[in-house]
Structure 1
Amino acid sequence: MAGEWEHLPEECWELVFDRLGHNRYLEAPSLVCKRFLSIINRLRSSLTVSDPTVLLHGGTSGLLRRFHQLKRIDLVEFHGDSNRLLREVALSGLNLEVLNLSTQRRLPVEGMKELGAKVKTLRILICSRLCFLQDSDLVVIADSFPSLEELDISNPEQDFGSFAELDYADDLAVSGSFPCTVTDAGIAILSSKLQRLCRINVSGNHFISDQSLRSLSSKCVFLSEIVARDCSLISEIGIALAIHHNPHLISLSVNGNKTSSSAAASSSSFTIESSFICARALGTLDFSQMIISDDLLNSIIQADLPLRRLALSRCRGFTFAGISSLLSKYSSLNYLDIEGIAFLTDQSLLELSHYLHDVNVINLNSNSNLTNSTFFLLAQTCPLLEEIRMERTSLGKEDCPSELKKNSKLQTLKLSWNKCLTDKTLKGIAMVCPNLISLDISHCWSITGEGIGYIGMNCSEIKMLEVSGCSRMSNLGTSFGFSKLEVLHAAGSSINDEGLCMMVQSSRWLLHLDLEGCLGVTGKGLKKVVTNCKGLKEVRLKKCCNVGSGVIAWMVFSRPSLRNLIPPCELVSTDEKQRDFFLRHGCWVHDC
């Protein structure tokens, strides 16, 4: 009977491994035998490539052919010859659908051309935060991948200082005289060639104007989502044009020019208020950081949109009456972002809560007047709520309610930088949210091991915990909780060897551990972690000056699963041979 599993058809094994879900759970069975490795390779759909994991001189096309179902490649961490790597991808014969080139120095033009000639299946291209991006790059993208459906060219990192804020910046944009940047001319070419484009993100491109929104909305007939945040020359007119020219737009995320929009809008027949007459399908609206009025909110009400997601983060100009009327109309919202709204109080949230029974995610960050009353009110009266964000509020300032009702849906809480948050409030949160998966209480300085211990004992599903900057926390308060913990960010906390030894008695599934700046951590505690956490993949020890020099090599050789290790800077060897030696054992030891 013991050997009968060997005769199971590979299709059965594929079903078994597919049920494991995330790639991180497939590594262990892939080590059992070559047959399992081959089956799992066929199931892998995404691959992240970084310098240490690919040896270009040997060619990678043969390696990539092992992954028959590979649809996505991420080069975010790759800093080698990206042109050559893309040529290898082109030769692999993969039916690639998603390519992420974010954070590259510049677009690998020659590699893109070769990839475009070979791969006709690419649907999504992500080029966010490139160090250098210009109109000619957009031409290469459009010519190489004319069937693109989603494109992200957001936030290029060219440093032009405050040039976009100059008085004559608008004239220069119209004349197209910004060299080495993305301009309206580049967006116009892109719009005319990418006929299947459905989604585009042009945020942070400071030299595109309203004309770019006009080009995109009028030429790309299938365009359903536009993200154009922090574009200095886009005004309310551009936003109105985008809505007017594309009545089928589903999602719009913009923040118009704060200085000239009112004057521009008053001289134009197009205004945001009037444009909503044309809207038919808008389900997501993000007007964050804009000056908006109750009249604008009323025009959204009158438009009778299929609205499901609304973001008014840090907006000014509207009143409580305006937002109350809007939420009353759209009481079926799933997502609401009202971060940094000055007039919000516990009482006003009590009134608004009557319209939030369908909300899954709510963002109340930076509303300093909100306390425990708001948190427990929402947790106990919004039955579908899955995530609450209440960072930089007055959470913890009041007592918890005497009667606490559990919310089985709540899975994610982001509560960082709440200086009033105490162990007592954390105990109440643990009782109300038994199915928490992710909790962020970083930089909540009053929290101790006792408070976080309540979470460990009552919230058995916790997988991600962020306690960075909790200077009074030396341990997680329990040896029995956190049995499913996978990620612990504890940088700048007071976690020490004793706390680590206590934690690993139950947290044996730990994958990622961040202990940067934890001065109480030494080799003793780290050895306990490495010995007990058999799936450990990443450890960050920057500024842990009490970690001995011999511990790094011991960690690499003792835990085969370890892939990424950031040692204390003073322990980093300048010997490339030693780092290559660690790499051959499967772990990349960083150079600070």
Structure 2
Amino acid sequence: MEAAAYSKSNAEKNPKERKLAAACPYLPDEIWEIIFKFLNDGDTNCYLEPLSIVSKQFLSITNRLQFSIAISDETIPFLDRLFQRFPNLRSLDLSKARNVNLLLGHNEYFPLGIKSLNISNKGDLDADVLVVLSKKMKNLTSLTCSRMICMLKSDLFFIADCFPLLEELDLSYPMNISQYDFIPDDDDDREPLALPKLRKINLSGNCIKEYRQFITYLFKNCKLLEEVITKDMISMDEADSDSGSDSNNDSDIDIYSDIDNDSDRSSDDDGNDA
């Protein structure tokens, strides 16, 4: 609301936009769309809002050019109006929406064309939420689940079941981590990760036991995978789980800033942790 008021105030003080519209009343919407796309600043849409108050024609055009939107608890009750106003939305940011139950109560209004979804800062990964969203966003290609309470290997497989067309996946920086989050097991060879189109995955800040084995598993199962981000990743050594040692002990944890497909990390890295 403050941004809208600010934009309206600017338009009133500096009527260049209105003069522009008055000088070219004959231009079709298609030409204006090209002009507005040239002026627009990526996903911020900072130039669309002041243009939208110039005229009804400009309002209609800018509404069609709005491809991303962030939803908060305050805007959830108006989702039906928002989605009607912006018919071409492709990206939905729910990271600031805390009331998940209220959000799910309005899921029937979610547009079907969403390609990118951000559900970060939601505590635990809620299976019910993912199932509901997956039914409305069957063509989702980008999912961000950053800064959740925790992130487990089982969550990764559940996400794959819900959104099999993902090309980008962000599971970075869970708030709580342990040596049991990503543990390789015998089922890994028999249970492929159903993300055939995955090109990029962000595992920064996670705790992964035998990380090389897990990364190899990812590349083996995701044939199109090009990038694995592992900044601040914690890799658990193969220490005896019955030793009772603290999981934060330096002898059990190696911290790597990035793997960079570096096959030359020698055993010296492990030896230096002793």
Tell me the TM-score normalized by structure 1: 0.34
Alignment correspondent of 1:55: 76
Distance 2:99 2:182 in 1: 25
Distance 1:4 1:231 in 2: 57
Match of 1:141 among 132, 137, 159: 159
1:200 Cα shift?
0.9
1:139 Cα shift?
3.3
Alignment correspondent of 1:192: 193
The answer as to whether partners of 1:85 and 1:111 remain within 8 angstroms in 2 is no
The answer as to whether partners of 1:75 and 1:102 remain within 8 angstroms in 2 is yes
Match of 1:272, SS? coil
1:80 Cα shift?
1.9
Distance 2:89 2:36 in 1: 16
Determine if the alignment matches structure 1 residue 39 to structure 2 residue 57: no
Alignment correspondent of 2:34: 15
1:123 Cα shift?
0.7
Match of 1:75, SS? strand
The answer as to whether partners of 2:204 and 2:231 remain within 8 angstroms in 1 is yes
Question: For residues 312-351 of structure 1, what are the structure 2 equivalents within 5 Å?
Answer: none
Q: 1:234 to 1:129 in 2, by over 3 A?
A: same
Alignment correspondent of 2:242: none
Match of 1:232, SS? strand
Question: For residues 517-528 of structure 1, what are the structure 2 equivalents within 5 Å?
Answer: none
Q: 1:111 to 1:194 in 2, by over 3 A?
A: same
Distance 1:104 1:153 in 2: 12
Determine if the alignment matches structure 1 residue 100 to structure 2 residue 102: no
TM-superposition CA deviations, 1:487-510 (whole Å, max 9, x none): xxxxxxxxxxxxxxxxxxxxxxxx
1:94 Cα shift?
3.4
Match of 2:62, SS? helix
Alignment correspondent of 1:451: none
Q: Which residues of structure 2 form unaligned runs of 5+?
A: 1-18, 238-249, 255-261
- 2:226 corresponds to which letter in structure 1? S
Tell me the TM-score normalized by structure 2: 0.69
Alignment correspondent of 1:114: 132
Alignment correspondent of 1:218: 220
Match of 2:173 among 137, 140, 155: 155
Q: Which residues of structure 1 form unaligned runs of 5+?
A: 170-177, 236-257, 263-270, 276-289, 293-315, 317-592
- 2:35 corresponds to which letter in structure 1? V
Distance 2:38 2:161 in 1: 39
The answer as to whether partners of 1:87 and 1:111 remain within 8 angstroms in 2 is no
Match of 1:11, SS? helix
Match of 2:141 among 98, 123, 140: 123
Distance 1:10 1:274 in 2: 58
The answer as to whether partners of 1:206 and 1:233 remain within 8 angstroms in 2 is yes
Distance 1:37 1:216 in 2: 46
Q: 1:191 to 1:36 in 2, by over 3 A?
A: farther
Distance 2:153 2:225 in 1: 20
TM-superposition CA deviations, 1:501-541 (whole Å, max 9, x none): xxxxxxxxxxxxxxxxxxxxxxxxxxxxxxxxxxxxxxxxx
Q: 1:191 to 1:44 in 2, by over 3 A?
A: farther
The answer as to whether partners of 2:83 and 2:109 remain within 8 angstroms in 1 is no
Distance 2:191 2:34 in 1: 42
Alignment correspondent of 1:228: 230
The answer as to whether partners of 2:142 and 2:167 remain within 8 angstroms in 1 is yes
Question: For residues 407-422 of structure 1, what are the structure 2 equivalents within 5 Å?
Answer: none
RCO higher in structure (CA 8 A, sep ≥6): 2
1:29 Cα shift?
1.4
Match of 2:36, SS? helix
Alignment correspondent of 1:313: none
Determine if the alignment matches structure 1 residue 272 to structure 2 residue 273: no
The answer as to whether partners of 2:160 and 2:194 remain within 8 angstroms in 1 is yes
- 1:109 corresponds to which letter in structure 2? A
TM-superposition CA deviations, 1:24-71 (whole Å, max 9, x none): 11111111233321210110111122223x133x5x144213222211
1:229 Cα shift?
3.0
The answer as to whether partners of 1:191 and 1:216 remain within 8 angstroms in 2 is no
- 1:200 corresponds to which letter in structure 2? I
Q: 1:141 to 1:274 in 2, by over 3 A?
A: closer
Matched residues, percent identical?
34
The answer as to whether partners of 1:138 and 1:190 remain within 8 angstroms in 2 is no
